[in-house]
Amino acid sequence: MKTQKYRPYTRIDLPDRTWPSKVIDTAPAWCSVDLRDGNQALVQPMNLEEKLELFQLLTNIGFKEIEVGFPAASQIEFDFMRMLIDGNRIPEGVVIQTLTQSKEQLIKKTFASFEGAKDAIIHLYNSTSTLQRDVVFKMERKEIVALGVAGAKLIHELAKDSDVKVRYEYSPESFTGTELDFALEICQAIMDVWEPTPENPVILNLPATVEMSTPNIYADQIEWFCRNLPSRDCALISLHGHNDRGTAVAATELALMAGADRVEGTLFGNGERTGNVDLVTLALNMFTQGVDPELDLSNINKVINVYERCTKMSVHARHPYAGELVYTAFSGSHQDAINKGMDAIIHDPQSFWEVPYLPIDPQDVGRTYESIIRINSQSGKGGVAYVMDKDFGFKLPKEMHPGFGRVVQEIADAQGDELSPDMIFHAFEKEYLFNSTGYALKAFNVLKRHLDNDEESSTAEVEAMLEVHGEEKWIEAVGNGPLDGFCQGLRDTLGLDFTLHAYHEHALTRGSSSKAVTYIEIYDQDNESWWGAGVDTDIIISSIKALLSALNRSDNKNN
């Protein structure tokens, strides 16, 4: 690795910086640039119909400012602008934004593109970075300032004669590669032309056109700029992050703490190179802190579907908040913690959302709990129990989790892939509910129940027909209840040696045809523990089935 080719980014001299102690407690003004930055980054740019569908999605989410294109750069961009205006497709309260370089013919065509709109933001930019001045434009500082000022003057003149309420925005492109004093100088020169007021501020967009440093340095740059701008109350400081270093979200958050008012970005971070800052992640980061992001992302699946259809891009499975797998745990320890956290939330629904490994409630963005825990060879007993509960209603006793977990683990190891919930349930049926190789119930009756005043001395007479290793066996016995009587009959008639150790039951379904499930643990003659399960509309029969299930599992260890 030729590290000698590179040098560290220059730090900002700001020893009394204040942003580290600030918090984000209100949403910024949002501006989507999906239809411009996002569109120009696509292998196959959107057609008019796709642009319109995405525009409608953005307005439904709640964006009030949308940069719809660079209408002077291509005919489809111009035509889309006219489609929105002539078709009266711009909702009340939404302002369209257009981009233009500081060139006379481009500015004039831009004004022609939004003629007839109620209001519009015209976004002027020219590159100011040291590198581009030296390598691309071969221009001195004063020439760069003159270029920007000339464009600002023309825009100001055309705006006076326009019926559109024009708002002004200026970007010193590649702000992060520009000397701070020069960025301030050119922005002040533009403001002198446009003469903003606190009631009608200019937007000064300070883009990390290329992300060149750690996020804290971008925050320092923004705080320095906000401090040193003479008419700070006449400007909205806007951020426009790119993700070259993979830290655009963090850089934008710190820059908001440093005093910025507005954020430009895209859904899911689509944009040139490694992308723009991701507005979905930014907004939902705020949401998880109890801050209203003022964007409606409650149906994240719809947002993903429209985005993927229009852009032909895919949202990564691990994308924050939106990815297919971001609410899914395969790890056994994670699954156990999530299972316990979800149980605590169910028992205290008025509490704050506090579930291990889930910083947001999936239901708040329109996801379900169905895929929170998925099972593969890395999973554990808690995850398996969660699937059995949430997908099928079986609330396995905690002491039963290890045994069934081992059953599923063996299947997952052999499969070498994820197990679906149905595969897990079929394993449960095979191991517990349909395991009748040794003992199968054919008939069961409670003949009499004797209820004395002392409940502990009540008795029950039972009879049962079993198939035991292929032979029918008739059992008659008396016990202090139907299950106890059946146990006594198994010992007396078949000579079985076991101890009933634990009993759990719960309703499996509701209604007139509801079923119950019973879980029973026995200790066999070798003092080994075996769990069984049974399901029936009769709770007594479900307990008899559960006992036989446990005996069958014990019997199978020798076969």
* CATH code of the domain containing 501: 3.30.160.270
Top-confidence range, 130-139, 211-220, 363-372: 211-220
User: What length does the chain have?
Assistant: 559
**CA gap 463, 549 in Å, rounded:** 19
Q: What is the pLDDT of residue 384?
A: 82
In a domain, 8, yes or no: no
**In this structure, what are the phi and psi dihedrals at residue 464, rounded to the nearest 5 degrees?**
-150, 145
**CA gap 38, 306 in Å, rounded:** 14
Same domain, yes or no, for 356 and 246? no
* pLDDT tens digits for range 518-559: 999 999 988 999 999 999 999 999 999 999 999 999 988 765
* pLDDT tens digits for range 187-199: 999 999 999 999 9
In a domain, 317, yes or no: no
Q: What is the mean pLDDT of the chain?
A: 91
In a domain, 465, yes or no: yes
Same domain, yes or no, for 418 and 445? no
The residue among 433, 449, 468 that closes a domain is: 433
Output helix, strand, coil percentages for the chain, rounded to the nearest 5. Answer: 45, 20, 35
In a domain, 122, yes or no: yes
Same domain, yes or no, for 130 and 167? yes
Same domain, yes or no, for 261 and 285? yes
Structure tokens at 309: 């259809």
Q: Is the pLDDT of residue 110 over 80?
A: yes
The residues with which 478 forms a beta bridge, in sequence order, are 461
**434 neighbors 425 (Cβ within 8 angstroms):** no
Mean pLDDT of 238-251: 97
Alpha helices in 208-320 (DSSP H): 215-228, 248-257, 279-287, 300-311
Mean pLDDT of 224-231: 97
Same domain, yes or no, for 224 and 183? yes
Q: Is the pLDDT of residue 9 over 80?
A: yes
**424 neighbors 383 (Cβ within 8 angstroms):** no
The residues with which 471 forms a beta bridge, in sequence order, are 468
CATH of the domain at 259: 3.20.20.70
**In this structure, what are the phi and psi dihedrals at residue 102, rounded to the nearest 5 degrees?**
-85, 70
Same domain, yes or no, for 277 and 412? no
The residue among 311, 345, 373 that closes a domain is: 311
> Structural domain of residue 26, as residue ranges?
20-311
- In 407-458 the beta strands, taken as DSSP E runs, fall at 439-450
Q: Is the pLDDT of residue 31 over 60?
A: yes
Same domain, yes or no, for 299 and 418? no
Same domain, yes or no, for 526 and 422? no
Please state, as a whole number, how many other Cβ atoms lie within 10 Å of the Cβ of residue 336: 21
* pLDDT tens digits for range 291-342: 999 999 999 999 999 999 999 999 998 999 999 888 876 666 777 788 788 8
In a domain, 496, yes or no: yes
**347 neighbors 320 (Cβ within 8 angstroms):** no
In a domain, 468, yes or no: yes
Q: What is the pLDDT of residue 375?
A: 57
* pLDDT tens digits for range 46-100: 999 999 999 999 999 999 999 999 999 889 999 999 999 999 999 999 999 999 9
**CA gap 355, 338 in Å, rounded:** 6
* pLDDT tens digits for range 391-401: 899 999 988 98
CB within 8 Å of 3: residues ≥ 6 apart: none
Give the residue from 301, 238, 323, 416 showing the smallest Cα distance to 57: 301
Residue 141, CB-side half-sphere exposure with 13 Å CA sphere: 12
Rg value, the chain, Cα: 34
In a domain, 7, yes or no: no
Same domain, yes or no, for 202 and 93? yes
- Our count of domains for the chain comes to 3
In a domain, 9, yes or no: no
The residue among 433, 450, 484 that closes a domain is: 433
Same domain, yes or no, for 223 and 303? yes
Same domain, yes or no, for 152 and 278? yes
Task: Specify the higher pLDDT residue, 156 or 371.
Answer: 156
* pLDDT tens digits for range 470-514: 899 999 999 888 999 999 999 999 999 999 998 999 988 766 568
Q: What is the pLDDT of residue 449?
A: 72
Please state, as a whole number, how many other Cβ atoms lie within 10 Å of the Cβ of residue 62: 16
Q: Is the pLDDT of residue 453 over 70?
A: no
Same domain, yes or no, for 129 and 275? yes
- Checking 420-423 for CB contacts under 8 A at 24+ apart, the result is 421/387, 421/391, 421/392
**CA gap 334, 378 in Å, rounded:** 10
